A and B are shown apart, each in its own frame.
Chain A
Amino acid sequence: MTVGDIVSATPVSEEGPLNVGPEGAKKIEGRSPWRLAFERLRRDKAALISMIVIVLIVVVAIIAPVFKHLTGHPPNQQYFDTGLTPDGLPRGPTGTFVLGTDDLGRDILVRLAYGARISLLVGVVATFLTVAIGTLVGLAAGYFGKIVDTVLARLIDVMLSIPFLLFAISLASVFQTGLKIVIIVLAIFGWSSVARIVRGQVLSIREREYVEAARSMGAGSWRIMLIDILPNVIAPIIVYTTLLIPVSIVGEATLSFLGVGVQPPTADWGQMIADAQTSNAVEHAWWFLVFPSVALLITTLAFNIFGDGVRDAFDPRSDRVFR
């Protein structure tokens, strides 16, 4: 028997069913789903390591100015004498430039630290917007049903059928490219998936007795949605949020890579990868491409593994807790 087969109403330990005899009864302790989820998460080593990595990345982003101070290299400063060869090629890792320079003689280490700010900012803000819009739409569609559900469900279908990159490139060519437009584009294309998940959850929850009870006591629709239903669909939302952050980060990097995202000289991982990829110098300057790529890989991997852990922690049927 796995832990996942037991719900909180029937307390279990990791070793198996508890002894519920007279002495054992004293050990029985009621635990909320949140606490159970946290405990499961705490025992997931991969998730914990990922969380530590995420914290480190956040710290690097916060203390990016410290890197600038220690090296004396502002992120956008070009060093023509020390950062480039006379032929304009990047310099490799040295004491002066720990991770080498790019093809404009800029310090890759400092730019990576500042680039983390953009990635995390976009990852968090775009995801927050995505989840907020998706949750509202999903709640409304699932709760009100009928014509509201029909309209919103079709809207979700339409949004899911629009090709993301083509639309993003078109939008960026109409409006001025930049961080704001990247966040808006990611939010516009992300909310429909969240809405579909939330709608499905709400459709089943709205028929529960406690919802009926609240309705019979005269509670309004918005109160029922926000107070009675939302807390009960929050778990999948949290899980999806953790998985959406790396998607947003990669989405931002992709847009910047295609030249429709954050514009130069802003330090941005996608932009840095694009610079390296389009440069002839990359064949002779591996660090130019490798370091920003590795930074993006580690960040998205950490968020993905952590997201998996969160999902497993909230999913009592999962058998992947003990790793």
Chain B
Amino acid sequence: MSQKCLSITALVLLLLALPIAAQEWEEGPGPGLGGIVIQSNTGGDPATFNPLISSDADSSNIWGWLYPAIIGVSPFTGLEEPNLDGAMAASWSYDETGTVLTVNLRQDIAWNDGTPITSADYMWAVEATRSGQIDSPRAGIFQTMDDGTPAGGKIVSIEAPDDYTVVVTFSEADCISFSDVNDVTPVPAHIFSQLYGEDLSAMMDDPRHIPTVSFGAFKDIEFAAGERVSLLADQAYPDSTLGYVSPSELVTLQVADENVATERFIGGEFSILAVPSPRQNDFKTDPELLEFPRFEFTGNGFTFFGMNHANPDNPQPGIDEDGNVIPQEPHPVLGDKLVRQAISHAVDIDALIEGIRDGNGVKVATHTIPTSWVFNPELQYEYNPELAMEKLTQAGWIDHDDDPDTPRICEDCLFAREVDAEYNGSEMTIDLHVPAGSDIGEQMGVFFQAEMNKVGFNAIFEAIDWGSAFIPELVGQTFDMNMLGWSLGLPVDPDISAFYYPEVDVPGSGFNFGSYYSAELIELNDQARVVPGCATEDRAAIYERVQEILFEDMPYFYMYVSESMTAIQPGIANWNPTPFSRTYSIDAWISPELATP
């Protein structure tokens, strides 16, 4: 069977996207005459301008303008597509085993010093990443490193038979490793080999080396610590929307405080603003702020309460050394599915979205987001405190004094039945933790505590320090319920192997913090990963069942996917935001002069 699945779906989606892509662009005054674009960044200084050793968003937000991707992700669909602006791949195909991917590259693009961009540029980056000599967070995509040490990834080898072909061999045919290819960013080999050819580790000593050669709408980094990063328009960029780059400059200004950033945007000092969530309502309702055009979209990150299924006093790995699943003691309270379901009935998520998020959220019940092809809007937790109390009673948590406000007590609950009969008589106590410093997180913690205590929990809420307390107890698997935000990378895939497999249930590391285990679920997910052809319809059929199991088991309490908002100064032309990118058309923007007194 032919396995061109990805290019075919991509093609279909591209056709769907065409009406948007073919929009009319307003002609600007000319190359570099379209004004300065100023954006704010509250994250901090970029740590590096070198994509090979970069691991933070503050850095990739800058170097992302200067380097091509091997395979582009469409700003319209959020999926990988061939022949996209700023990307190298012209087409790709799999062999009949599904393990060998051949990527054909565009032959019409060059670095801004005139050197053609070829497979050698990608290969140089691949070899540097795989060498083990640099501190790359992406080395884990390879099966083994150059020196033979296992890296645990699925890419066996990457080769370049000629200047415009790259061949990737995977260890198994699955539907999710394709995007790993994109984890390595091509760099100008002729420059990098001169700089670091002798000693790759020299990269680490000079993380803010400013590239002299680049490919993109902007070039020439100018960096001032704690202040700004400024990029100049690069008229040599062949993929520009208008045939030239309209803004003269793209400046990223550091702002320490989000409220200050918002006020400075309102004052006219920034061109564009990712509106902080507490301020979204202002832009929608405040008459003074309605003049700012805004774009609202459902993001790709969801907010949930992670729940520990295993005994936090005795964290165990999910599998032993031979790969066999280790059965774990249940969590005294949350180990029982009925209790987890009861929590879902006890907390009014609609009120939470309405009140705390000003309605800027879409309720979800599993880890899939509304823009995903597996999203099932019918799966919804029902808010029903009566039902919650019923399920708790059924689970052996008894309201001994008919006062719902006092904690219920274990009378033959799961833990007493299966582990320790002396647990009978214990109160139904849960530690509810959120990372300190996030206003919204703290509000949600307070709300959860109140809602849960209404049905008989003894929920103890605390906002704790992220690095020294929250992460250690989460990763160490000694938590009860911890609130997390999780952002999905593009393209979004419903695969669960990264966070619900016993292999990643390792106290101290691994993302299956809650030690959730369901044999049926894993079997289904394994099937879905190797569906011949990887067609989304075929996989969606399997994931439909996966969603149902997750909804029933309720491994975590998924709450909502945030709706995001971007606002822009009135008068900026050619702004064409999509849910997957708000700035892809920035090279065509015509921006009025900003307020710089």
B and A form one assembly: no
Query: A residues engaging B (CB < 8 A)?
Result: none
Query: B residues engaging A (CB < 8 A)?
Result: none
